[in-house]
Amino acid sequence: MIERSGSVLVANIGELVTNDPERGDGSPLGLCRDAALVAADGRVAWIGPAAGAPAADTAIDAGRAAVLPGFVDSHAHLVFAGDRAAEFAARMAGEPYTGGGIRTTVAATRAAGDEALRATVTRLRAEALRQGTTTIEVKSGYGLTVTDETRSLRLAREVTEETTFLGAHVVPTEYAGRSDEYVDLVRGEMLRSAAGHARWIDVFCERGAFDEAQAEAILRAGAAAGLGLRVHANQLGPGPGVRLAVALGAASADHCTHLSTMDIEALAGSSTVATLLPGAEFATRSRYPDARALLAAGVTVALATDCNPGSSYTSSMPFCIALAVREMRMSPAEAVWAATAGGARALRRDDVGRLAVGGRADLALLDAPSHLHLAYRPGVPLVRRVLHNGVPIT
């Protein structure tokens, strides 16, 4: 739901990241110095030099700090119950991550009431918003029955329009040894029940989850039901996920941790975004994706949190930016772009992830003079103020 408020002037901005290369310094971030911005009716109504700013109903003095588009977190799993802190501790002591813990969360989620699940989704959504995330994608995937997947999506829809049906997360225990029967359920009755609550469909295409033929059957059924496509691809090892995502015209191939040259070439010649989730590599102590090879090949890269109780329990896009810079050798500018404009591309949105007249008035005001500080000051809560749909968040 879009709230309405009076017009808001954000005055005295030291550095404005617009992601409009036609503006400011002409870089992909379209950096404007000494700028101001006016939001009205949820949209950006005016951007220009600080000295020439028009009046508005409310004014926020940025104090010469940096302002950037709100983060677009295009990959999160917020509908779950239970806690896997012990699994994390075991990994830090040397246990590998296999994705097997997903079934632990499925059991806890099925056992939870709507109110408990709603409380978690709402809490995590609010936590992300405070850290500057104004657009967030939320997946189902911890229900894995017709009823539990549908209610997960219904609850996700209460906090975002960007909902994704991930009935094909893993084969649930009761279908062990009968994965094709589960695939038929997912692409049949479960999809019919879930589709009205989802914009996207996603499949975990990985050894131990769903193979190429199963993933393709589910994604094609999702497309036929009017859903856009996303794929959890090449997270735990090399595989067909990325190429399948490209072949089916998916909006995004997510993880991309284990890529071949052919995978990178396929992405480069496509409109499929490579969404990198460095929080997962951090929390599973795994190698990081080769972001430099993707960028060198001209692939569009997004950064997202993968917020979930198993492989990446962070809702912080600034943390992911810091990891991308330190661990994946992205420049701070590339990482900030990927966390804003890149996420918008991964969700096929052009109204978010940039600051332009007519676009959504979603922005983050930092307690810092430039976007560089997001990577330079890791772990510091640098987001001072957020405007969401033109409304200042308190």
CA distance 313 to 83: 10
Shortest separation between residue 169's beta carbon and ligand NIG, angstroms: 6
- Residue 342 is inside which H or E element, if any? none
CA dihedral 318, 323, 328, 332 (to 10 degrees): 40
The one among 101, 240, 241, 359 contacting ligand NIG by CB under 6 A: 101
Task: Give the binding range for ligand NIG (CB under 6 A) out of 50-58, 126-134, 261-269, 309-317.
Answer: 309-317
Residues 6+ apart with CB under 8 A from 171: 178, 179, 182, 209, 210
Asked whether 228 and 248 are in contact (CB, 8 A), the reply is no
Asked whether 134 and 340 are in contact (CB, 8 A), the reply is no
Shortest separation between residue 75's beta carbon and Fe ion, angstroms: 6
Nearest alpha-carbon partner for 324 in 371, 367, 365: 371
Task: Give the binding range for ligand NIG (CB under 6 A) out of 25-33, 45-53, 97-105, 265-273.
Answer: 97-105
Determine if 319 is a binding residue for ligand NIG (CB under 6 A). no
Residues 6+ apart with CB under 8 A from 41: 4, 390
Tokens of 383: 């987001």
Site string for Fe ion, 253-292 (x = CB under 5 A): ----------------------------------------
CA distance 141 to 165: 7
Task: Give the binding range for ligand NIG (CB under 6 A) out of 178-186, 243-251, 301-309, 338-346.
Answer: 301-309
Asked whether 351 and 390 are in contact (CB, 8 A), the reply is no
Determine if 306 is a binding residue for Fe ion (CB under 5 A). yes
The one among 23, 187, 197, 232 contacting ligand NIG by CB under 6 A: 232
Give the interface size with ligand NIG as a residue count (CB under 6 A): 13
Beta-strand ranges (E) seen in 242-362 are 252-255, 273-276, 301-303
Region of 246 on the Ramachandran plot (φ > 0 left; ψ -120 to 50 alpha; else beta) = alpha
Site string for ligand NIG, 157-196 (x = CB under 6 A): ----------------------------------------
Residue 353 binding target from Fe ion, ligand NIG, none, CB below 5 to 8 Å by type = none
Residue 99 binding target from ligand NIG, Fe ion, none, CB below 5 to 8 Å by type = ligand NIG
**Of 20 and 73, which has the nearer Cβ to Fe ion?**
73
Residue 280 binding target from ligand NIG, Fe ion, none, CB below 5 to 8 Å by type = ligand NIG
Shortest separation between residue 77's beta carbon and ligand NIG, angstroms: 6
Q: CB nearest Fe ion: which residue? A: 306
Q: How many other CB atoms are there within 10 angstroms of residue 61's CB atom?
A: 12
Binding site for ligand NIG (CB under 6 A): 99, 101-102, 105, 204, 232, 235, 280, 306, 308-311
Binding site for Fe ion (CB under 5 A): 306
